[in-house]
Amino acid sequence: MNEKCCCGDHTMDQQFTELAPVLDKYAKVPGSLITILQKAQDIYGYLSMDAINYISQATGIKPAKIYGVATFYSQFRLKPVGKYLIMLCKGTACHVNGADTIEESICEYLEIKDGETTKDGVFTLNNVACLGCCSLAPVMMVKSADGDETYGNLTKDSVKEVLAEIRERA
């Protein structure tokens, strides 16, 4: 498995050293593809085609099948995300309490739409079905390398204040 990756300047083994222990543990375990993909995404932030091909080589599962699984489940990302991943809840409680207005405010403030990343690579917006914080509706969670932060009872103004605060930290 020491072939060149698409970048051409290093081998796949070097590129995926952090993923190797995961594959050592799960590559030959039937039904473990989703676990492998979750761990790969945790390590790299998203699933690149190089990662999919590397996982294919280690598991013997065809890249097309891996890609099919990755695109079927909304938890997987095939593009890099910003330093801060905004997960805006669009569940029933949040919807009823103004999640659409909050989304408009985020999109206007950051100049992105759902699924997009800001030009500076700081923020990515993802609408999600439910965060399980219904009593805080409308709510968003912001994931970063420092951990997850949840913001509830959002308004058009408060969401902009939160984003401005986060941008200052970036």
pLDDT tens-digit series, residues 53-91: 999 999 999 999 999 999 998 789 998 899 999 999 999
The whole-angstrom separation of Cα 75 and Cα 96 is 24
pLDDT tens for each residue of 2-53: 444 444 443 566 889 999 999 999 999 999 999 999 999 989 989 999 999 9
d(CA 104, CA 112): 10
Question: Do 74 and 41 meet the contact criterion of CB atoms below 8 Å apart?
Answer: no
CA dist 6 and 3 (Å) reads: 10
Contact 124, 83 (CB under 8 A): no
pTM of the model: 0.72
- Which residue in 157, 156, 136, 140 sits closest to 148, CA to CA? 140
Calculated CA dihedral for residues 98, 99, 104, 106, nearest 10 degrees: 120
Listed range (2-11, 76-85, 103-112, 129-138) with the worst mean pLDDT: 2-11
